[in-house]
Structure 1
Amino acid sequence: MRALRIGLILLVILGGLAVGADRLAVHVAEGEIASKVRTTQGLESDPSVSIGGFPFLTQLVGKELESVELGVDSYAVRVDDQEGAVEDLTIRLEDVRLENNYERAVAARATGEGTLSYEEMQRLTVPEDSTFGVAWGYGGEGEVELRVTVMGQAVGPAMTGDITVDGDLVRVSVEDIPSFADIPVIGAIDGIDDRVRERVDQQRQLSGLPSGVEVEGLEATEDGVTLRLSGTDVILTGAAAPE
């Protein structure tokens, strides 16, 4: 009986050491992945990285990780010819293949989300030198609120509209646009109603997301426009494979 107890104690100790070694290896690997993702994606700092699944060392030997979650505080994208910032970007990757002597990591599937703030949307959709613009906000029930601005001051009534995505094209559409012809000062501008529609009904091209990731949907929230992301064969680290 004493020998059995000693054997069980040794098994517990060895098991604890094995788990500790596995968790240490995960910590080291997460740091290594963060550094490589920073280089591959051109980030200013290392992203947060969390590797899922247990045991990790078995996954490493098999060259396939069950899951990896990335977090980036601010990720640079392109909106037409301007640089924009997607905040709080989170990407969850599944079935991550480790290739080319562990230098390249490719996820079979990915989902995620990030946010374009309303301040950022306003900056990206109104020319810097324009005194006539549009202020963005949350319109409730998944819609955006748009207000015409002159010299930074809101004029006229608020309008609500839908924001949708088709491929890499982001569209904003307002069904009912009131006439601004009777609004003091701004109403005197030639073709004001047509100019207002040009400002509020917009289409922009969004690009620059990680290779293999695309915008699946958009949702207006109190914090901004949330991008719902998905993808397949997403390159996590390393260059794309030659064709």
Structure 2
Amino acid sequence: MAESYPAVDEAHEERPRRRRGRRVLIVLLVLLLVLGGLVVVADRVAVGVAERMVADQVNRELTQRNVTFASPDVTVGGFPFLTQVVDGRYDSIRIVLRDVETPVAEKATTVSVPEATIDAEGVNAALDTLRSGQGDITADTVRGTLTVTYESVVALIDEPGVQLREEEGKLVVTAPVQVPLINQRITVRGNAKLTPQGDDILISFSGLTSPDLPDNPLVRTFVNGFAEDLSVRVPLPALPFPVEVTEIVPRSTGLAISGTARNVALNEVR
């Protein structure tokens, strides 16, 4: 009787099959990784194109309004980006403007803003709208923050010796004033009132006082008039998207101004 070795034959047959199976699986995994990488690259390229388009639009709009600034930094949030394009809804768009200068013709000076940040969240822009340029592009919420330097405000006040600074969360002014009634130069001090008025900030002063100020009604009237002369309207630089000022806070570096708006038409000309 001839001897047979089935177990050995089966083992020899299974090993190549398993190796081929493993090789196929490895190839598939490599292909998936390569394709995934290509998708990620394509997604990031598309984001870069979108960010450049927004930056170009911001450049055009603000240049038309005589605002000078460094090239804007634009960041389109959310991942993946291409699915947002298809859905027509983007998580967020952030625009950062630096070294913003707005001319004030009547004062022959400028309002300086070292940095302004605009965040648009929940941006709705259908693909057909982007292709044709027709239709609405809206944002659920737009928030803007910027800081106006005290040097800009002092230049607008245009009174020699005026100084502004933050003390305990308040805007404090000190200014020398020549009081003709007593023929004496006195340095007065007081707090400012900050009031948003449309696209401007009204800075008004009252109750200026000094230890050297005599208790004289005529002198007091004169100083009150001087305080009114110090009051100034500060025009805020134009932003790419409209926001309404909601808060003005004195900081060590200047007036920190923030605003917000809801259901904003981003492609509406201001």
TM class by smaller structure: 0.7 to 0.9
1:117 aligned residue:
149
Gaps of 5+ in 2: 1-20, 179-184
> Deviation digits for residues 84-112 of structure 1, max 9, x if unmatched?
23330001111223335364744231112
1:193 aligned residue:
223
Specify whether residues 179 and 157 from structure 1 end up closer, same or farther in structure 2 by C-alpha distance, changes over 3 A only: closer
Q: Which amino acid aligns with 1:22?
A: D
Any conservation in 2 of the 1:180–1:192 contact (CA below 8 Å)? Answer: no
The 5-angstrom pairing of residues 154-173 of structure 1 reads 156-165=187-196, 167-168=198-199, 170-173=201-204
TM-score, length-normalised on structure 1?
A: 0.77
State the Cα distance separating 1:218 from its structure 2 match.
0.2
The 5-angstrom pairing of residues 63-212 of structure 1 reads 63-77=88-102, 83-98=110-125, 99=129, 101=131, 103=133, 105-126=137-158, 131=160, 134-138=162-166, 140-149=167-176, 156-165=187-196, 167-168=198-199, 170-174=201-205, 176-178=207-209, 182=213, 192-200=222-230, 202=231, 204=233, 206=235, 209-210=238-239, 211-212=241-242
Any conservation in 2 of the 1:146–1:161 contact (CA below 8 Å)? Answer: yes
TM-score, length-normalised on structure 2?
A: 0.70
Q: Which runs of 4+ in 1 moved over 6 A?
A: none
Q: Secondary structure at the match of 1:21?
A: helix
Any conservation in 2 of the 1:180–1:193 contact (CA below 8 Å)? Answer: no
Q: Which amino acid aligns with 2:131?
A: N
State the Cα distance separating 1:206 from its structure 2 match.
3.6
Gaps of 5+ in 1: none
State the Cα distance separating 1:157 from its structure 2 match.
4.1
Any conservation in 2 of the 1:181–1:192 contact (CA below 8 Å)? Answer: no
CA distance in 1, matches of 2:137, 2:61: 11
Q: Which amino acid aligns with 2:233?
A: R
Q: Which amino acid aligns with 2:29?
A: L
Q: Which has the higher contact order (CA 8 A, sep 6+)?
A: 1
Identity of aligned residues (%): 27
How much is the aligned-residue C-alpha RMSD, in angstroms? 3.4
Specify whether residues 73 and 205 from structure 1 end up closer, same or farther in structure 2 by C-alpha distance, changes over 3 A only: closer
CA distance in 2, matches of 1:141, 1:190: 26
CA distance in 1, matches of 2:46, 2:130: 20
Higher helix fraction: Structure 1 or Structure 2?
2
1:240 aligned residue:
269
CA distance in 2, matches of 1:12, 1:155: 76
> Deviation digits for residues 36-64 of structure 1, max 9, x if unmatched?
11112325453110000011111122333
